[in-house]
């Protein structure tokens, strides 16, 4: 299958019009012979039917659709049918970036609605049209802060998702930025204000804190934001949209920038990509934002319409002076989140957060009753994810669970932050609204037997 | 019926008890200092209302499934449906990134297959699939170049970029910490060794080139340029935005490039999604392998596993996890659908289609370079239009005729530029109709310029006020 709709006779006419006898002549007029490639060593074409069977066989080699208690940044949430139907409309997924506004009002209004929803959820003033993922959104936020403040020190919490830490390090390595890592308190599993006060000073461009943090614990963001503000550092909060149905918003606690991974809203896990990152900022920073932004305007008859705006921040206008190099983003993934939020509505958004925290607490209660499982952070307050320390064999636990089609908790021993072995024998359980009481009871039953 | 509401203007109309049920006791007591006080302004609406709202919105879009998208440098080719179907298999979508390698062998095999295929198509020795888009790939490639010179204790701080380059090239180089040097194109729209020599110095790390370039012109001095750069100790970066012109025809690595990125959402037919997700795999020659971001997939006997480069050598991690998997999968499926011959045929037909349009227009328009082009061409509409009509107006008039408008005012070096890339998936009939429409617009601009000035009128809104949008930004409801 090659999807080329040109017959032999059509091609002949076209070549005649061009004035060459064949394609080879057309190419050799432009490309010197010595530069030409030999025949590619790739298998011959497959039919649609052959392709389907081949990829079905690949899919079957994966273990998928398990009862999932793994999280750590990517979560197994329910995706309603209406999201698939709308996002699956070819008028959306085969459309290009909406540069021609009058021919792209569908996409543009959808992005405007997405931006509005992100603002409603985060309590901040402006959102861009999306970033690649949560990690790159966090890195871009750090760059924004460094460039805006003209200061080069950034403090990041050690309870920030390690994938994000690593991407922030990549992004800032060549930009003369110093990354300082902030220890967390062993009892609460969260940042302590005393530790922060000891290291923060007026030379700090930004403080980056995640809440609920990587270990699932809710941070006292209000206090941390106040400390950052007192030292004229920007406060960058990394948040989970699901938690914002219940938890205080970045806008309410005074964050300057909120970023995060959008996958939990309407996107499937797909091994961690493609997902999307969101970024929202206070009004004062709107011209500093990376990426595309859609704004409302009117047409020549005064009718409401939407366009890409503040484009003089972007690479296609500003080239090397742009706020970022981002061009293609994650439009369709962020659109899925928009439709998902619209499906939930304000009530559903609250119910979603309530179901997540309630089920996680239920799971915590039943598992900590089992001998050999203790909470790692005795005074932690968690949302939908928590860490337990166990004296049992972790490998065996996950093997036994796998036999019952359960994807077990994430083993923390392999992460880079585990130098010194502090997180050996630690398991992190994520419990979303998708887990039923019987899923959780079954998990507990298996854990009891090990 | 008023189909022009934004979501927040729809009144709440749901009467069910709950959208999200919870089968354990609600347990939400939490210190008040952590609790949200405001309620998000998002209505509670029923599924039917929601479906109508977005279905109506979808009808206000032009899309590849409804019309031709002759967008220069964007390669808007048909997105095969079977690839979409395959990508939706639960076996791929319901996989967590921290599952063990043994439980995701199928996905790893798909990634490995794509890495290998891209190596064969480009001639590069190793690929990472982690970058999420073309610009992200450029940034990755430039960090690799930076790391390479650091490992050799060479201080090289500059990147050369032709003036016809995409804006992402200089923006990515700046993000990677480089200084940007622009090299002027010559009168044929290509880089000449003479112009290059004038900006070349011992602190140049690399040069980024798009081949064929954004004018659709093959850089015929490429061999001399790569030799000049390599003799200077510098590397060559290939921007793969225009790879659709040369699959099976030439390989970037063979003609002297050391690092490159590929836009899977262009050349390998994965859908653009209204702006993303994309995928920008980066390929390198063997001497740069150790600098690639981690992880990439290797084959170990019959098993596939992730390979992590030495932390000190690697540029680090470009995004969370492994890459945009569904995009990777669709590109892999596309390559298998076309096979070796099909890929070459696709590039050849893309070149024929572009030249066919050019042959029908060349008496009326100004082409900066030659009588032939590769898969696209940039033309100046300066002479073709009358009545004070500008390229922007002509583009908007194309919308009235049902076409998406080509890229305009780019490349920056062509006055009143319009850039046309038809791709191989348009038929002769479609091309003929498009050519006829363009010629009509040229005529209209002389006989009835107001019609063109006022375009578009057949779209869901008329010409939008972009200046006002930026002056008083309204970015949310």
Same domain, A324 and A445: no
Q: Which of B277, B294, B314 to mutate to test the interface with A (most CBs of A within 10 A)?
A: B277
Segment B111-124 mean pLDDT:
98
Query: End of a domain among A339, A370, A398?
Result: A339
Distance separating alpha carbons of residues B207 and B226, to the nearest angstrom: 9
CA-based nearest distance A422→chain B, Å:
20
Give the position of tokens 């019309």: B67
Q: What is the pLDDT of residue B322?
A: 97
Interface test with A, best of B29, B464, B465, B467 (most A CBs within 10 A): B464
What is each CA distance from A179 to A143, A146, A153, in whole angstroms?
12, 11, 6
Q: Cβ neighbours of residue B91 under 8 Å, at least 6 residues apart? A: A56, A58, A59, A60, A62, A64, A65, B106
How much is the pLDDT for A363? 98
Q: What is the pLDDT of residues B332-366, one digit of tens each?
A: 999 999 999 999 999 999 999 999 999 999 999 88
List C-alpha distances in Å: B414 to B21, B69, B74, B146: 60, 21, 18, 32
- Whether residue A12 lies inside any domain: the answer is no
- Whether residue A47 is contained in a domain is answered as no
Alpha-carbon dihedral angle through residues A217, A222, A224, A226, given to the nearest 10 degrees = 180
Looking at the complex, does the CB of residue B37 fall below 8 Å from at least one CB of chain A?
yes
Q: Do A112 and B476 touch (CB under 8 A)?
A: yes
pTM for this prediction: 0.97
CA distances from B120 to A356, B127, B252, B328, B389 (A): 47, 11, 11, 16, 47
The backbone torsions φ and ψ at residue A332, rounded to the nearest 5 degrees and listed phi first, read -70, -35
**Residues A327-364: tens digit of each pLDDT:** 999 999 999 999 999 999 999 999 999 999 999 999 99
Residue A171 belongs to a domain: yes
**pLDDT tens digits, A49-77:** 999 999 999 999 999 999 999 999 999 99
Whether residues B55 and A89 touch (CB distance < 8 A) is answered with yes
If you average pLDDT over residues B257-282, what whole number do you get?
A: 97
Give the residues across from A304 on adjacent strands.
Answer: A298
The H or E element that residue A237 is part of is: strand A234-238
* Inside any domain, residue A23: no
> Quick one: B228 exposed, middle or buried, by C-beta within 10 A (0-12, 13-18, 19+)?
middle
Same domain, A402 and A310: no
Q: Is B344 on the interface with A (CB under 8 A)?
A: yes
Backbone phi and psi for residue A26, each to the nearest 5 degrees, phi listed first: -60, -40
- CA atoms within a 13 Å half-sphere pointing along the CA-CB vector of B143: 29
pLDDT at A416: 87
Contact assignment for A46 to B337 by CB distance below 8 Å: yes
Contact A278, A338 (CB under 8 A): no
- What is the C-alpha separation between B121 and A240, in angstroms, rounded? 40
Provide CB contacts within 8 A for A348, sequence distance 6+: B18, B19, B20, B44
Q: Would residue A168 count as lying in a domain? A: yes
Distance in Å, alpha carbon of A428 to nearest chain B alpha carbon: 12
Report the SS3 class of residue B125. Answer: coil
Neighbours of B402 (CB within 10 A): 16
Helix ranges, B90-166 (H)? 90-93, 105-122, 134-151
Average pLDDT, stretch A173-193? 95
Q: Is residue A28 situated within a structural domain?
A: no
First CA to last CA distance, chain A = 53
Average pLDDT over residues B17-35: 95
Does residue B50 carry a pLDDT above 90?
Answer: yes
**B27 contacts chain A (CB < 8 A):** yes
Q: How many domains does chain A have?
A: 2
Coil/strand/helix, residue B68: coil
Ramachandran angles phi, psi of B158, nearest 5°:
-120, 150
Do A264 and A385 lie in one domain? The reply is no
- Residue range B278-327, pLDDT digits in tens: 999 999 999 999 999 999 999 999 999 999 999 999 999 999 999 999 99
B228 touches chain A (CB under 8 A): no
Rounded Cα–Cα distance for residues B277 and A149 (Å): 31
Backbone angles phi, psi at B235, to 5 degrees: -105, 165
Count of H-run helices and E-run strands, chain A: 15, 15
Q: What is the CB neighbour count within 10 angstroms for residue B31?
A: 9
Find out whether A124 and A280 touch, Cβ atoms under 8 Å: yes
pLDDT bin (cut points 50, 70, 90) of residue A122 is: very high
* Mean pLDDT of the region B27-41: 97
Q: What is the DSSP string of B151-210?
A: HTT----EEEEETTS-THHHHHHHHTT-EEEEE-B-TTSSB-HHHHHHH--TTEEEEEEE
Whether B97 and A74 lie within 8 Å, measured CB to CB: yes
pLDDT value, residue A321: 86
Q: Is A90 exposed, middle or buried (0-12, 13-18, 19+ CB in 10 A)?
A: middle
Specify the CATH number for the domain of residue A430: 3.90.1150.10
| B55 C-beta neighbours (distance < 10 Å), count | 15
Is the predicted pLDDT of residue B194 greater than 80, yes or no? yes
Per the CB < 8 A criterion, the answer to whether B297 and B115 are in contact is yes
CA distance B450 to chain A (A): 14
Of B185, B210, B186, B184, the residue nearest B74 (C-alpha): B210
Query: At A123, is the secondary structure helix, strand, or coil?
Result: coil
In a domain, A11, yes or no: no
pLDDT, mean of residues B131-145: 97
Q: Which of A339, A367, A390 is the last residue of a domain?
A: A339
Residues A226 and A350 reside in one and the same domain:
no
Is the separation of the CB atoms in A30 and B250 below 8 Å? no
Half-sphere exposure of A366 (CA within 13 A, CB side): 20
Q: Give the mutation candidate from B9, B12, B20 for the A interface (greatest A CB count, under 10 A).
A: B20
Give A4's contacts in chain B (Cβ within 8 Å): 345-346, 349, 424-425
pLDDT of residue B370: 79
CA-to-CA distance for A303 and A289, rounded, in angstroms? 28
Residue B360 with chain A: CB contacts under 8 Å: 17
Q: Following DSSP, what letter does each residue of A402-437 receive, concatenated?
A: HHTTEE-PEEGGGSGGGTTSTTTTEEEEE--TTS-H
Which residues of chain A neighbour B318 with C-beta distances below 8 Å? 136, 167, 170
Neighbouring residues of B457: CB distance < 8 A, sequence distance ≥ 6: B400
> Are A101 and A207 part of one and the same domain?
yes
The boundaries of the domain holding residue A244 are: 81-339
Q: From CA B82, how far away is CA B63, in angstroms rounded?
A: 18
A330, A291 in Cβ contact below 8 A? Answer: no
Token pair for B420: 């046309």
Task: Count CA atoms closer than 13 A to B327's CA, side-chain side.
Answer: 36
Q: Name the 3-class secondary structure at B355.
A: helix
Q: How far is B404 from chain A (nearest CA, A)?
A: 7
A281 lies in the same domain as A327: yes
d(CA A47, CA B337): 6
pLDDT tens digits, residue range A195-243?
A: 999 999 999 999 999 999 999 999 999 999 999 999 999 999 999 999 9
Tokens of B161: 């970029």
What is residue B17's predicted lDDT score, i.e. its pLDDT?
Answer: 79
pLDDT tens digits, one per residue of B361-417: 999 988 877 789 999 999 999 999 999 999 999 999 999 999 999 989 988 888 999
pLDDT score for B73: 86
Distance CA A80, CA A78 (A): 6
Q: What is the pLDDT of residue A110?
A: 98
Contact assessment for residue A408 and residue A373, using Cβ atoms and an 8 Å cutoff = no
Listed residues A311, A339, A367: the one ending a domain: A339
Pair A444, A394 in one domain: yes
Nearest CB neighbour to A106, from listed B61, B177, B360 = B61
DSSP string, B210-259: ESS-TTS---TTHHHHHHHHHHTT-EEEEEGGGGGGTTTT--TTTTT--E
Q: Give me the residues of B, 84-113, that contact A with CB < 8 A.
A: 84-86, 89-100, 103-107, 109-110
3-state percent breakdown (helix, strand, coil) of chain B, nearest 5: 40, 10, 50
Partner-chain contact B109 A325, CB within 8 Å? no
Domains of chain B: 1-59 (no CATH), 82-338 (3.40.640.10)
Does some domain include residue A299?
Answer: yes
What does DSSP say about strands B158-162 and B179-183: parallel, antiparallel, or unpaired? Answer: parallel
A269 and A218 housed in the same domain:
yes
DSSP letters for A363-388: HHHHHHTSTTEEESSTT--BSSEEEE
Interface contact B320-A107, CB threshold 8 A: no
- Give buried/exposed letters for A341-372 (b at 16+ CB in 10 A, else e): bbbbbbbbbbbbbbbbbbbbbbbbebbeebee
Our CA-based measurement puts residue B70 at a distance from the nearest CA of chain A, in whole angstroms, of 11
Does B410 contact A at CB distance below 8 Å? yes
Say if residue A303 is in the same domain as residue A400: no
Same domain for A357 and A383, yes or no, is: yes
Find the residue in B nearest to A21 (Cα). Answer: B352
Residue pLDDT, tens place only, A131-170: 999 999 999 999 999 999 999 999 999 999 999 999 999 9
DSSP conformation class of A249: P
Question: CB contact, 8 Å: B119 with chain A?
Answer: no
For residue A312, give the CATH number of its domain: 3.40.640.10
Judge if A236 and A372 occupy the same domain.
no
Indicate whether A256 and A283 sit together in one domain.
yes
Residue in B closest to A306 by C-alpha: B464
């Amino acid at each position: 299958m090659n999807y080329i709709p040109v017959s032999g006779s059509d091609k002949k006419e076209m070549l005649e019009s061009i004035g060459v006898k064949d394609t080879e002549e057309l190419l050799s007029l432009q490309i010197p012979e010595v530069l030409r490639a030999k025949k590619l060593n790739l298998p011959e074409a497959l039919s649609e039917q052959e392709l389907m069977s081949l990829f079905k066989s690949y899919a079957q080699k994966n273990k998928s659709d398990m009862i999932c208690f793994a999280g750590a940044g990517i979560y197994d949430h329910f995706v309603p049918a209406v999201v698939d139907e709308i996002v699956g409309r070819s008028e959306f997924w085969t459309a290009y970036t909406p540069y021609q506004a009058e021919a792209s009002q569908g996409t543009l209004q959808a992005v405007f609605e997405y931006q509005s929803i992100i603002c409603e959820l985060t309590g901040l003033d402006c959102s861009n049209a999306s970033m690649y993922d949560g990690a790159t959104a966090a890195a871009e936020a750090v760059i924004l802060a460094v460039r805006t403040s003209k200061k080069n020190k950034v403090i990041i919490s050690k309870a920030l998702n390690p994938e994000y830490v690593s991407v922030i390090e990549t992004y800032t390595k060549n930009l003369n930025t110093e990354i300082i890592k902030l220890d967390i308190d062993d009892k609460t599993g969260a940042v302590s204000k005393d530790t922060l006060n000891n290291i923060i000073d007026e030379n700090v461009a930004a403080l980056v804190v995640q809440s609920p943090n990587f270990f699932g614990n809710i941070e006292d963001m209000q206090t941390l934001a106040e400390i950052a503000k007192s030292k004229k550092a920007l406060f960058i909060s990394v948040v989970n949209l699901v938690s914002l149905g219940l938890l205080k918003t970045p806008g309410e606690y005074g964050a300057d920038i909120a970023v995060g991974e959008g996958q939990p809203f309407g996107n499937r896990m797909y091994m961690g990509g493609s997902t999307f990152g969101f970024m929202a900022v206070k009004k004062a920073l709107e011209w500093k934002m990376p990426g595309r932004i859609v704004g409302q305007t009117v047409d020549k008859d005064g009718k409401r319409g939407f366009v890409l705006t503040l484009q003089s921040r972007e690479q296609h206008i500003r080239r090397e002076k742009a706020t970022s190099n981002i061009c293609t983003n994650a439009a369709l993934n962020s659109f899925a989140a928009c439709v998902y939020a619209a499906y939930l509505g304000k009530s559903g958004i609250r119910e979603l957060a309530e179901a997540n925290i309630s089920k996680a607490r239920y799971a915590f209660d039943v598992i900590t009753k089992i001998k050999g499982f203790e909470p790692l952070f005795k005074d932690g307050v968690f949302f939908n994810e928590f860490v337990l320390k166990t004296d049992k064999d972790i490998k065996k636990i996950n093997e036994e669970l796998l036999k019952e089609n359960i994807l077990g908790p994430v083993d923390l021993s392999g992460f880079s932050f585990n130098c010194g072995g502090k997180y050996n024998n630690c398991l992190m359980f994520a419990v979303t609204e998708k887990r039923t009481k019987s899923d959780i009871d079954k998990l507990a039953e298996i854990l009891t037997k090990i | 019926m008023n189909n022009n509401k934004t979501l927040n203007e729809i009144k709440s109309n749901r009467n069910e008890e709950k959208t999200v049920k919870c089968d354990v006791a609600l347990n939400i007591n939490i210190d008040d200092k952590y609790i949200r006080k405001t309620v998000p302004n998002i209505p509670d609406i029923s599924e039917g209302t929601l479906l109508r709202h977005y279905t109506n919105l979808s009808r206000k879009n032009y899309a590849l499934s409804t019309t031709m998208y002759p967008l220069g440098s964007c390669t808007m080719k048909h997105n095969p449906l079977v690839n979409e179907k395959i990508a939706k298999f639960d076996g791929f979508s319901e996989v967590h990134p921290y599952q063990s390698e043994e439980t995701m062998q199928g996905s790893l095999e798909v990634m490995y297959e794509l890495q290998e295929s891209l190596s064969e198509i480009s001639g590069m020795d190793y690929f990472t699939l982690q970058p999420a888009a073309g610009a992200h790939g450029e940034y990755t490639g430039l960090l690799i170049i930076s790391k390479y010179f650091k490992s050799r204790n060479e201080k090289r701080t500059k990147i050369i970029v032709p003036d016809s380059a995409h804006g992402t090239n200089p923006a990515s180089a700046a993000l990677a910490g480089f200084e940007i040097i622009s090299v002027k194109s010559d009168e044929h729209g290509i880089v000449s060794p003479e112009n290059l020599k004038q900006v070349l110095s011992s602190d140049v790390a690399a040069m980024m080139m798009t081949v064929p370039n954004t004018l659709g012109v093959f850089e015929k001095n490429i061999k001399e340029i790569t030799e000049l750069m390599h003799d200077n100790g510098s590397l060559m970066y290939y921007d793969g935005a225009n790879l659709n012109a040369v699959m099976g025809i030439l390989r970037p690595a063979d003609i002297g490039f050391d690092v490159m990125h590929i836009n899977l959402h262009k050349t390998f037919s994965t859908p653009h999604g209204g702006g993303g997700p994309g995928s920008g795999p980066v390929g390198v020659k063997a001497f740069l392998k150790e600098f690639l971001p981690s992880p990439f997939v290797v084959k170990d006997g019959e098993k596939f596993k992730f390979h992590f480069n030495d932390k000190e050598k690697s540029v680090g991690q470009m995004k969370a996890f492994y890459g945009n998997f569904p995009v990777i999968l669709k590109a892999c499926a596309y390559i298998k659908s076309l096979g070796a011959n099909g890929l070459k045929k696709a590039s050849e037909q893309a070149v024929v289609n572009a030249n066919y349009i050019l042959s029908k227009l060349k008496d009326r328009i100004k082409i900066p370079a030659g009588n032939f082009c590769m898969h696209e061409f940039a033309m100046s509409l300066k002479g073709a239009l009358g009545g004070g009509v500008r390229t922007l107006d002509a583009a908007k008039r194309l919308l009235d005729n049902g076409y998406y408008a080509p890229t305009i005012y780019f490349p920056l070096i062509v006055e009143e530029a319009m850039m046309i890339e038809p791709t191989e998936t348009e038929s002769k009939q479609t091309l003929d109709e498009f050519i006829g429409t363009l010629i009509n617009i040229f005529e209209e601009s002389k006989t009835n310029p107001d019609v063109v000035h006022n375009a578009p009128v057949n779209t869901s809104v008329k010409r939008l006020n972009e200046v006002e949008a930026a002056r008083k930004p309204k970015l949310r409801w």
